Amino acid sequence: MAQIFPKWANWIPLIVLGGGGALALTALALLYYYGSPQNTQVGYRPPQPVHYSHRLHPGNLGLDCRYCHNQVESSRFANLPSVQTCMNCHKLILRESELLKPVRDAWENGQPIQWIRVHDLPDYAYFDHAAHLRGGVGCVTCHGEVVLMDTTIQIAPLSMGWCLDCHRNPEPNLRPTDQVVNMYWQPPENQHEWAADFRRKQNINPPTDCSGCHR
């Protein structure tokens, strides 16, 4: 009896299995990559040119966040502190500390400190710090309890899904506007009712359409 299929057809099951296996491995690799801290940046803590401890400055010493990030209430961006800001204190405090030598060198040379931004959104995502602070979103919501950090670390993925979860249900993250920089503020027992009333009074309606964050 003549062969129905040509001889090369024997390779088809192997090709299908091999292709299916390769596709599955590719899917797993993509899932691992796009869900890992290397992509979401959770856990990112780059070495900085100067060891700055939030645990010490705003934590133990009670330094207001807005002293260093002094444009955060009026600008889209939370500016990194200038050398002048550091030297306002360190002209007098720990003037001979070896840890502060990069600050003194930058001051003497008229050069900025090359801080490495930890929370850095891509250019295609629009984010306005001032709008969020005016809306009652505290620093801790996105940046975590920095008063416990000796080295600044990213604790939130800052992904589109993460942002949309908050935009769709902002009540758990809202607080009085005079408490946005208070790292120790605790929500009241009636947080949901208070936040719902606060949203009505402040006319807070976070966008959930594409144009809200991609302009």
Q: What is the pLDDT of residues 60-86, one digit of tens each?
A: 999 999 999 999 999 998 899 999 999
Residue 206 in domain: yes
- 139 touches 183 (CB < 8 A): yes
Residue 156 in domain: yes
Number of domains in the chain: 1
- Choose between 36 and 122: higher pLDDT: 122
> For residue 99, what are the CA distances in angstroms to 92, 103, 117, 157?
15, 9, 20, 31
Residue 75 in domain: no
Summarize pLDDT for 79-114 with one digit per residue, the tens: 999 999 999 999 999 999 999 999 999 999 999 999
- The reported pLDDT for the residue numbered 10 is 73
Residue 37 in domain: no
Residue 38 confidence class, pLDDT cut points 50, 70, 90: low
Mean pLDDT of the chain: 90
Residue 168 confidence class, pLDDT cut points 50, 70, 90: very high
- 169 touches 206 (CB < 8 A): no
Residue 50 confidence class, pLDDT cut points 50, 70, 90: very high
Looking at 42-163, which runs of residues are DSSP E strands? none
Summarize pLDDT for 170-191 with one digit per residue, the tens: 999 999 999 999 999 999 999 9
User: In the chain, how long is the greatest CA-to-CA distance?
Assistant: 100
- The reported pLDDT for the residue numbered 35 is 60
Query: Residue 187: which domain range?
Result: 122-212
* Residue tagged 């966008």 (tokens): 207
- The reported pLDDT for the residue numbered 39 is 60
Residue 11 in domain: no
